[in-house]
């Protein structure tokens, strides 16, 4: 009998597919199942049927595979924060390398490029320096809760993560192991305070309510601790007493800010920001430099692994004292400053004005005088006019967002044909696409995956490219 949507079936998971789903076969088609590990023999309910694949929902693990481990967190199977907590760390690293290789070969057509073994993270839990918890008035009920028949009186109060695939439902967290423990304690305190003082949570459908997010940032090396209260309205009469209560309970907090996002946008970045306590930012150390990090500026979320990532990029770049270095998508200038001492001049380009302002302040605070920063969209700034202003670079480091580089930027890189090009990527699929174009001009010498995000399928990658034809 042909398998149809809604049917149950048994299969063995053979490997891990992209996005953390297990891969097995059913009726000679691929079948993808979340929360499974290679070697698991499972019972699933078919929730999607297509010509070339099925998607199954895990009902029961009938026999555990050798790579399955017991998750630390009770929410691991339903929370999108840790998709692979049930898989041993050694196997996580192997799967991530396999995914990078698959993207290089299948998307980029670069079948001669074999990635190096993944650089493992020294901490597999509590490694993030930033967590953004969402608040909402519609709690996500688990399948077990729904099937229990119990009426849950707290279903309209929630704080934690968005339920996977749902912008309007919040998984109410009772624990979280991604950031330092005080991070969850702060979120839990705000949740309890809001309940006690009848402070409403934001509803994105009705576009009403008050608390939208609580973001916590911490400095791994400095001990700085920021709480960012993101609200739908500017109500000092509500947030100031909350800030005082937070400081009384958590005296280690070094700054509290209130981002006011009174727009329909789900962003945690407010239309404006009020500083309630402290300087309004934290500092963090990478290498020999201290960095200022505001609530809304990008900074690598795994401080310890950022050091490994930047050191890999620096070594791959083979920097020389006479070099002119361009750092594309430079953020707050962390990688620019990390490499500046080894070159004659380093120039960063970044879209966010706040990040560029931070980059300039970071350079000044660290007495780095051979750096310059430009603001704007990369495809509009990184042009012949820019190169006329600063000169032809010897080496370029590019660290684009998940979408990869704009075709105009790739074209400019090909036309420049610099001696050394370092591509840092948080998405090996779009990196493979860009490398395929760049390989017309550059040789891809090495590809080094770096695990910035244990317990997830995400992987950061550093690629070294050199010009094919030296003058």
Report the 3 state secondary structure along 13-55: EEEECHHHCEEEEECCEEEEECCCCCCCEEEEEEEEECCCEEE
* Phi, psi (rounded to 5 degrees) for 467: -60, 135
pLDDT of 166 reads 73
Q: How confident is the model at residue 49 (pLDDT cuts 50, 70, 90)?
A: confident
pLDDT of 110 higher than 70: yes
Q: How confident is the model at residue 108 (pLDDT cuts 50, 70, 90)?
A: very high
pLDDT in tens, 257-312: 999 999 999 888 999 999 999 999 999 998 889 988 999 888 889 999 999 999 99
pLDDT of 155 higher than 60: no
Contact (CB, 8 A) for 40 and 46: no
Highest CATH level, class, for 8-68 = mainly beta
Helix H segments across 250-333? 303-317
Surface-to-core class of residue 25, CB atoms within 10 Å of its CB (0-12 exposed, 13-18 middle, 19+ buried)? middle
Highest CATH level, class, for 93-123+296-467 = alpha beta
pLDDT of 214 reads 97
pLDDT of 445 reads 97
Q: How confident is the model at residue 471 (pLDDT cuts 50, 70, 90)?
A: very low
Mark whether 426 is an active-site residue: yes
pLDDT in tens, 324-350: 999 999 988 999 999 999 999 999 999
Domain layout of the chain by residue ranges: 8-68, 93-123+296-467, 130-286
pLDDT of 318 reads 97
Contact (CB, 8 A) for 316 and 399: no
pLDDT of 170 reads 86
For residue 120, what are the contacts with CB-CB under 8 A and spacing of at least 6?
89, 93, 451
Q: How confident is the model at residue 128 (pLDDT cuts 50, 70, 90)?
A: very high
* Phi, psi (rounded to 5 degrees) for 423: -110, 115
Mapped onto helix, strand or coil, the DSSP state of residue 326 is strand
Which of 16-30, 103-117, 139-153, 431-445 is the least confident region?
A: 139-153
Q: From the candidates 73, 79, 176, 426, which is the catalytic residue?
A: 426
For residue 360, what are the contacts with CB-CB under 8 A and spacing of at least 6?
333, 373
Mapped onto helix, strand or coil, the DSSP state of residue 4 is coil
pLDDT of 83 reads 87
Q: How confident is the model at residue 242 (pLDDT cuts 50, 70, 90)?
A: very high
pLDDT in tens, 64-91: 999 999 999 999 888 878 889 999 999 9
Q: Could you name the CATH architecture of 130-286? A: Beta Barrel (2.40)
């Amino acid at each position: 009998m042909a398998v149809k949507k809604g049917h149950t079936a048994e299969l063995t998971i053979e490997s891990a597919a992209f996005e953390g789903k297990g891969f097995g076969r059913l009726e000679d088609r691929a079948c993808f199942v979340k929360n499974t590990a290679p070697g698991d023999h499972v019972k699933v309910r078919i929730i999607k049927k297509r010509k070339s694949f099925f998607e199954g929902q895990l009902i029961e693990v009938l026999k555990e595979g050798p790579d399955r481990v017991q998750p630390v967190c009770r929410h691991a199977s339903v929370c999108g924060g840790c998709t692979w907590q049930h898989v041993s760390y050694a196997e996580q690293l192997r799967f991530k390398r396999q995914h990078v290789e698959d993207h290089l070969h299948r998307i980029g057509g670069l079948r001669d490029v074999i990635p190096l073994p993944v650089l493992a993270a020294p901490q597999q839990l509590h490694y993030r320096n930033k967590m953004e918890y969402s608040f909402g008035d519609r709690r996500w009920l688990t399948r077990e809760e729904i099937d229990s028949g119990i009426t849950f009186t707290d279903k309209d109060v929630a704080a934690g993560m968005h339920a996977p695939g749902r912008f309007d439902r919040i998984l109410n967290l009772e624990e979280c192991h991604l950031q330092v423990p005080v991070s969850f304690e702060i979120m839990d305190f705000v949740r309890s305070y809001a309940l006690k003082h009848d402070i409403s949570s934001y509803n994105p459908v009705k576009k009403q309510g008050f608390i939208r997010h609580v973001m916590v940032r911490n400095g791994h090396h400095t001990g700085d601790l920021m709480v960012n209260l993101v609200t739908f309205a500017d109500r000092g009469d509500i947030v100031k007493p909350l800030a005082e209560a937070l400081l009384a309970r958590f005296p280690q907090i070094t700054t509290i800010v209130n981002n006011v996002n009174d727009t329909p946008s789900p962003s945690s970045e407010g239309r404006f920001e009020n500083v309630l306590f402290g300087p309004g930012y934290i500092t963090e150390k990478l290498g020999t430099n201290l960095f200022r990090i505001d609530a809304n500026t990008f900074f690598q979320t795994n401080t310890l692994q950022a050091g490994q990532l930047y050191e890999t990029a620096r070594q791959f770049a083979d920097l020389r004292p006479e070099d002119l270095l361009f750092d594309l998508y430079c953020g707050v200038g962390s990688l620019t400053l990390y490499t500046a001492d080894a070159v004659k001049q380093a120039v960063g380009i970044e879209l966010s004005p706040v990040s560029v302002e931070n980059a300039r302040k970071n350079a000044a605070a660290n007495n780095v005088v051979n750096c310059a920063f430009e603001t704007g969209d990369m495809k509009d700034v990184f042009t012949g006019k820019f190169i006329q202003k600063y000169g032809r670079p010897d080496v370029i480091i590019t660290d684009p967002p998940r979408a990869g580089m704009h075709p105009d930027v790739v074209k400019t890189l090909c036309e420049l044909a610099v001696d050394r090009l370092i591509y840092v990527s948080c998405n090996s699929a779009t990196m493979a696409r860009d490398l395929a174009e760049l390989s017309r001009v550059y040789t891809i010498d090495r590809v080094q995956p770096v695990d910035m995000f244990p317990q997830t399928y995400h992987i950061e990658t550093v690629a070294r490219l050199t010009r094919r034809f030296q003058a």
